[in-house]
Amino acid sequence: MALKRGLYKGFSSFEFQRAKTFKINDIELVKLDLLNHIFTRKGSRVMLPDFGTIIPELVFEPLDADTVNTVEEELITVFEFDPRVELIELDVQPDFERSSITAAALLNYIELETVDRLELNLQFER
């Protein structure tokens, strides 16, 4: 299937140095929205007390099996919240020696008719 283009349009200053533009489209915009949701502290949005995750607070907790499970549950909740994506597979791998978690989500971008990976690395305090 051909990738649909120009369905989602937005602006971001993160990639300006590399791309020389503030415009972002489609998959990159959806990924940025998902990351913003993941790293928004639950309860910090006015009129949306359930929006966000507790992941920003977890990085100050000890890295153990409970923390890994909580991160996985929070990520699943974010992906289920966004109607533009469908979670195909989520792989959450802790690295106890380095106090980090690497998460890789295989996502189906529904309206864009494509599948792509979203990866993130969480570094925990030692």
φ/ψ of residue 93, rounded to 5: -120, 115
- Tell me, letter by letter, the H, E, C secondary structure of 32-61: HHHHHHHCCECCCCCCCCCCCECHHHHCCC
Q: Is residue 117 part of a domain?
A: yes
Residue ranges making up the domain that contains 40: 20-123
Residue 87 DSSP SS3:
strand
Here the CATH number for the domain that contains residue 36 is 3.10.450.40
Q: Is residue 47 part of a domain?
A: yes
Q: Is residue 92 part of a domain?
A: yes
Cα–Cα–Cα angle for 59, 57, 96, nearest 5°? 20
Residue linked to tokens 């928004």: 40
Structure confidence at residue 15 (pLDDT):
61
pLDDT tens-digit series, residues 27-39: 888 898 999 999 9
Number of domains in the chain: 1
Structure confidence at residue 1 (pLDDT):
47
Q: Is residue 9 part of a domain?
A: no
φ/ψ of residue 70, rounded to 5: -65, -45
User: What is the pTM assigned to this prediction?
Assistant: 0.84
